[in-house]
Amino acid sequence: MTYETLLVEQRGAVTLITLNRPQALNALNSQLLADLITAFAAFDADDSQRCAVLTGSEKAFAAGADIKEMASQSFADMYGSNFFAGYDKVTATRKPWIAAVNGFALGGGCELAMMADFIIAGDNAKFGQPEIKLAVTPGMGGSQRLTRAIGKAKAMEMCLTGRMMDAAEAERSGLVAKVVAAAELVDEAVKTAEAIAAMAPLAALATKEMVNAAFETTLQQGVVFERRLFHGLFGSEDQKEGMAAFVEKRPGMWTGK
């Protein structure tokens, strides 16, 4: 399958998706969203694929939603079409995926990165929610996900001033899981994805689901949800294999059942 705005390749069990609108610093237009929805759905549906990496270029992960596409839209256009609602399909991806961010991740670019299960940043990464400078606000979840990731004080300051945060500050603030050299970013992210891809698939799905539940429920409900998923994994062949392999001092061989 080829895409107008993405490059997609499979490296073993890892799907590498690269945003590919270099002329617009990977600005996120409607075509790109349609391509992302198709690519993530294909990844989720392919049993040979266990983890994905979404990346951009060394200059820009994505410099935001496409301002030129939005500029002349009316309220009726935006509200009527529920503009950006398609990103809910991207966040509905059940398998784990990582955003590998080099360069600018601004506005919708920062918001898309925050939809990932975690972010790995190159040391040249710059994150920001500069929408206020365009007389609008974040619209793809930035005010919510950034606040949950880095807390109210910093999120409010970032969204109200539109300033950029560099990779070191992003790591300090908990926005990114780790920072690596920009030139090594994709290889490092794929290596991390390969480690995840080597885990028992049902355990990986359950882990993602329960960590995400921490943002949606009370502590008590979340702990019970975790425990029930944990119990459920004892119905899997891979749990028997994983624990037997530990006792027998050998690597586990997963069936995904």
For the annotated catalytic residues, the residue numbers are: 65, 108, 111, 131
Stretch that binds ligand CAA, among 36-44, 46-54, 132-140, 241-249 (CB under 6 A): 132-140
Smallest gap from residue 94 Cβ to ligand CAA (A): 24
Considering only residues 13, 35, 93, 107, which one is a binding residue for ligand CAA as defined by CB under 6 A?
Answer: 107
Rounded Cα distance, 117 and 176, in Å = 10
Stretch that binds ligand CAA, among 94-102, 138-146, 179-187, 214-222 (CB under 6 A): 138-146
Considering only residues 96, 122, 138, 242, which one is a binding residue for ligand CAA as defined by CB under 6 A?
Answer: 138
Smallest gap from residue 222 Cβ to ligand CAA (A): 28
96 touching ligand CAA, by CB under 6 A: no
Return the number of the residue (29 or 192) whose C-beta is nearest ligand CAA.
Answer: 29
Residues 6+ apart with CB under 8 A from 244: none
Which residues, listed in sequence order, are joined to residue 18 by a DSSP beta bridge?
7, 55
63 touching ligand CAA, by CB under 6 A: yes
130 touching ligand CAA, by CB under 6 A: yes
Residue 107 contacts residue 129 (beta carbons within 8 Å): yes
Residue 21 contacts residue 27 (beta carbons within 8 Å): yes
Indicate the SS3 state at residue 105: strand
Rounded Cα distance, 111 and 136, in Å = 15
Subset of 14-33 contacting ligand CAA (CB under 6 A): 24-25, 27
- Which residue bears the tokens 């694929």? 49
Considering only residues 140, 155, 165, 167, which one is a binding residue for ligand CAA as defined by CB under 6 A?
Answer: 140
Residue 51 contacts residue 14 (beta carbons within 8 Å): yes
Closest by Cα among 118, 178, 113, 170 to 141: 113
Return the number of the residue (14 or 60) whose C-beta is nearest ligand CAA.
Answer: 60
117 touching ligand CAA, by CB under 6 A: no
Considering only residues 131, 171, 188, 238, which one is a binding residue for ligand CAA as defined by CB under 6 A?
Answer: 131
182 touching ligand CAA, by CB under 6 A: no
Residue 176 contacts residue 120 (beta carbons within 8 Å): yes
Smallest gap from residue 168 Cβ to ligand CAA (A): 19
The DSSP result for 113-178, as a single string, is: HHHSSEEEEETT-EEE-GGGGGT----SSHHHHHHHHH-HHHHHHHHHH--EEEHHHHHHHTSSSE
87 touching ligand CAA, by CB under 6 A: no
In the complex, the residues that contact ligand CAA under the rule CB under 6 A are: 24-25, 27, 63-68, 104, 106-108, 111, 130-131, 134, 138-140, 142
